[in-house]
Structure 1
């Protein structure tokens, strides 16, 4: 696998504040497994194979990039993929593009009630699932575990030591943890939460060591997979001005946050920022279906 391209972004607000911003295009690395999803799966797939498992079972919501990526990996690497999907009502509804892609890639979609989905970390519930589907390598929601953190640490290399700040979107925190582990002394890592979770930073500090990272909880736009006309306009304008497409769940919110903090003067003049594009562009199709139903403007494809 080749290294992800890194491009500098030129916008008036960056020039005005004397801040330089680069984007690491992890989204271009691997078809179907773009961005941090490939990084998270890389060592998990090796662990699964080392353990002799032929099946990987994991969890996600209806618009989960993780579910989409695991399905693509199952087809690519030849293992059986099972996705436990939140919302049993989805079993009798037309599949959105994310779930349709997962099904077409060969993933078995197992729809469960929200009550059962809330038990996804319970050992008893996991045993129930293994009893139903047979032996499997279990991967948590979002794919975050020590093997995933190890993979995400590889996003940064020696050539990145010159960046003052490294930024990434945050869902379950695996990418943030990997970047924090790989950062060089004096380098700050900042995560931008894509979901509304008041205790997220406290929970992350239980397992991500160090004081060289921070988490912004300001730019989630109401919660996970929530979006409004303001964010749609930002993402569309950013693509027009820079040529870089952003997804509405993760990278769009992160870049909105970075540029808003730049406007506020939160970065010192001369600051060099590296933002990690974690992929998720496939989710635009499903998001546009939601936006259309609400009469909101659509994201550019």
Structure 2
């Protein structure tokens, strides 16, 4: 669509900063903790959301689409980023939200931001949401939302284009880290991050959902993007704290303490669980002395 500026006009800050954190829990074990401040990549599309969307937005524009159709939960950072991208680039946006019981409730901060950016929200039941990738279910959703001609972006933005977009994240960390760690919802960022790293580096994914399914999902995404899965990444499923957007008292206390120690606002759905996991793993002796560990900060808490 000629009237829509290209996704490159989103003007990201690249490469994003790499910040050293002085934390005695890591230093006592001879470890160095760094933060890859991908939350600073763009004011409206923080972190992995920009990287996962940029090639999809270019494809949507090239194919002449005027509307983006995508999916997410009530606290989805992906929905927020897609809505912002639509506002900035002139796309209409429709978000299919998990949980029809939410339709008549007051909007939380994330969904309110989506609507403020022009996204039309469509709420469906959780059982129907689980079947959203079925061609017949998707076709019905398109009819219900009048998005038959929309460009479809999957939940979390994770597809082969998203994975390819995230390889730049790994490339920016070449020579700067030994372990690059990221919180995972759908596995797309981990798949691209790992593929972009150099020899001797490895990626660690910390799922924020329970279920233990992300290993096969991440491998499938790498296969779709590159032809075969890589071998330089692993997952640790122990730190989901009960599931997506769930928290324990220990996690909340940890995040509050990390903010107080380092003056860094900690996003609670993804980043808090990542930092909590890395601290616990370091205390378990999971990393050899001298290891440089980089936590990818994928987002910031939503503004009130």
The two structures have a TM-score, normalised by structure 1, of 0.91
- Distance in structure 2 (CA, Å) of the matches to 1:206 and 1:25: 27
Deviations 1:12-36 (A, max 9, x none): 1111100001101111221121011
By how many angstroms is 1:257 displaced?
A: 0.5
By how many angstroms is 1:210 displaced?
A: 1.9
2:255 alignment counterpart? 235
- Distance in structure 2 (CA, Å) of the matches to 1:255 and 1:90: 30
Deviations 1:20-59 (A, max 9, x none): 0110111122112101111111110000000100000001
RMSD, aligned CA: 1.4
Aligned match for 2:275, one of 244, 250, 255 = 255
Write out aligned runs for 1:132-281 (5 A): 132=144, 133=146, 134-157=148-171, 160-208=174-222, 209-281=229-301
Shift in alpha-carbon separation, 1:73–1:203, aligned structure 2, 3 A? closer
- Distance in structure 1 (CA, Å) of the matches to 2:119 and 2:216: 34
How many residue pairs are counted as aligned between the two chains? 284
Runs of 4+ in 1 over 6 A off after TM superposition: none
- Distance in structure 2 (CA, Å) of the matches to 1:22 and 1:140: 31
The two structures have a TM-score, normalised by structure 2, of 0.90
**In 2, are the aligned partners of 1:65 and 1:280 still within 8 Å (CA)?**
no
Deviations 1:131-175 (A, max 9, x none): 331310001111100111111111133563241111111110010
1:128 alignment counterpart? 140
Structure 1, gaps ≥5 residues long: 286-301
- Distance in structure 2 (CA, Å) of the matches to 1:245 and 1:31: 15
- Distance in structure 2 (CA, Å) of the matches to 1:21 and 1:204: 25
Aligned match for 1:33, one of 4, 20, 45 = 45
**In 1, are the aligned partners of 2:208 and 2:239 still within 8 Å (CA)?**
yes
Deviations 1:104-147 (A, max 9, x none): 11000011112221221011111122233131000111110011
SS class of match (1:155): helix
Aligned match for 1:6, one of 15, 18, 25 = 18
Deviations 1:183-240 (A, max 9, x none): 1111111000111012322343344312211001011101111012211111111111
